[in-house]
């Protein structure tokens, strides 16, 4: 039995990024990932996150758990009176509806006060059609490597990473210019492979001469086919790259908005507001710190008009004491 892996958000986001990069029909079917796909996913993940030390089984189990969490949240969002807070990445509804949800699905309790920032990226992965695999295995590895290279160049242009919360959206927008450069990289790889295949290998027999009775194969028929394949491959890679860039830009915007919200509804602002409340006992003031640890509670507290804050805070403190 594998040891329980400790999945922090950095590792979860890293896994989702790798799943997106390998999401094509060569590695994945509508019923799940192929064995070849899992080999590549595990290798890519451990290459990028050697400090995680996860086994193949642990990575597979967590991918399954993420899908379960995604389906659970999507089913909750289908209810009347339930909405999704994009900035906080949380479910919003009344306490009464939450009681009904938890009665039907006890596992949903954790999402009453917990965010799920992976909802959008999982929706892109699980709800969209699986892109067609491109070429043979060697060609696809080259294309995937090129896409990963462009992703690394994208990250290099942005000061800090999305996990660190220091994103520059304008820098991300400038990286759209990498599209043409990335496609040139793919063409170079393909041209190199074709030249290598056409070049005679040392010690190999010379190319046999065509027999007189065999019809000559027109080069004019071969060239359009090659051009068509190249255009199709370039188009598939460009679409994948654009979708990935769009996903990263949305992540950056969400992170920036979350940071702004965090400053607007900070613990220090809540405590400062508490100082001006004269009808609150010292016990409530001390226990209020535990209430303010939750971002949702801080937002609710500061959103109330001053005369109602004390009533709401006393109710939340009583819940802690129960």
**Mean pLDDT across the chain, nearest whole number?**
76
d(CA 59, CA 7): 10
Lowest mean pLDDT among 3-12, 54-63, 177-186, 251-260: 177-186
Higher pLDDT, 276 or 233: 276
Give the chain's length. 322
CA max distance for the chain: 105
Reply yes or no on whether the pLDDT at 162 is more than 50.
Answer: no
Mean predicted confidence (pLDDT) in 72-87: 93
Closest C-alpha among 69, 157, 140 to residue 105: 69
Which bin fits 303, alpha (ψ -120 to 50), beta or left (φ > 0)? alpha
Mean predicted confidence (pLDDT) in 154-174: 48
Closest C-alpha among 57, 18, 24 to residue 41: 18
Q: What is the pLDDT of residue 192?
A: 52
Q: 35-71, pLDDT tens digit by residue?
A: 999 999 999 999 999 998 899 999 999 999 999 999 9
Higher pLDDT, 322 or 166: 322
Q: What is the pLDDT of residue 263?
A: 66
**319 band by pLDDT with thresholds 50, 70 and 90:** confident
- Give 158-176 as a DSSP string: SSS-TTTT---HHHHHHGG
d(CA 271, CA 290): 11
d(CA 113, CA 44): 33
Instruction: Give the tokens for residue 139.
Output: 């060609």
CB distance 239 to 129 below 8 Å: no
pTM over the 0.85 mark: no
């Amino acid at each position: 039995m594998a040891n329980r892996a400790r999945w922090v958000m950095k590792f979860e986001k890293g896994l989702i990024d790798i799943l997106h990069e390998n999401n094509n029909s060569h590695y994945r079917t509508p019923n799940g990932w192929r064995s070849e796909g899992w080999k590549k996913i595990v290798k890519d993940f451990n290459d990028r996150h050697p400090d995680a030390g996860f086994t193949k089984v642990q990575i597979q189990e967590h991918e399954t758990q993420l899908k379960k969490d995604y389906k659970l949240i999507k089913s909750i969002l289908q209810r009347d009176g339930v909405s999704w807070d994009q900035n906080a990445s949380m479910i919003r509804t009344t306490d009464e509806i939450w009681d009904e949800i938890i009665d039907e699905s006890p596992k949903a309790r954790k999402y009453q006060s917990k965010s799920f920032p992976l909802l959008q990226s999982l929706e892109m992965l699980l709800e969209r059609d699986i892109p067609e695999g491109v070429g043979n295995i060697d060609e696809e590895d080259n294309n995937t490597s090129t896409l990963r290279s462009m992703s690394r160049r994208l990250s290099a242009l942005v000061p800090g990473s999305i996990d660190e919360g220091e994103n520059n959206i304008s820098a991300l927008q400038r990286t759209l210019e990498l599209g043409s450069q990335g496609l040139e990289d793919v063409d170079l790889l393909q041209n190199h492979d074709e030249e290598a295949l056409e070049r005679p290998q040392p010690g190999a027999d010379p190319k046999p001469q065509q027999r007189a009775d065999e019809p000559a194969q027109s080069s004019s028929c071969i060239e359009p086919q090659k051009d068509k394949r190249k255009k199709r491959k370039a188009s598939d890679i460009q679409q994948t790259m654009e979708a990935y860039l769009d996903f990263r830009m949305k992540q950056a915007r969400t992170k920036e908005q979350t940071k702004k919200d965090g400053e607007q509804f900070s613990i220090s602002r809540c405590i400062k507001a508490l100082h001006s409340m004269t009808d609150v006992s010292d016990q409530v003031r001390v226990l209020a710190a535990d209430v303010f640890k939750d971002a949702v509670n801080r937002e609710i507290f500061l959103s109330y008009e001053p005369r109602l804050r004390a009533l709401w805070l006393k109710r939340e403190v009583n819940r802690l004491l129960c």
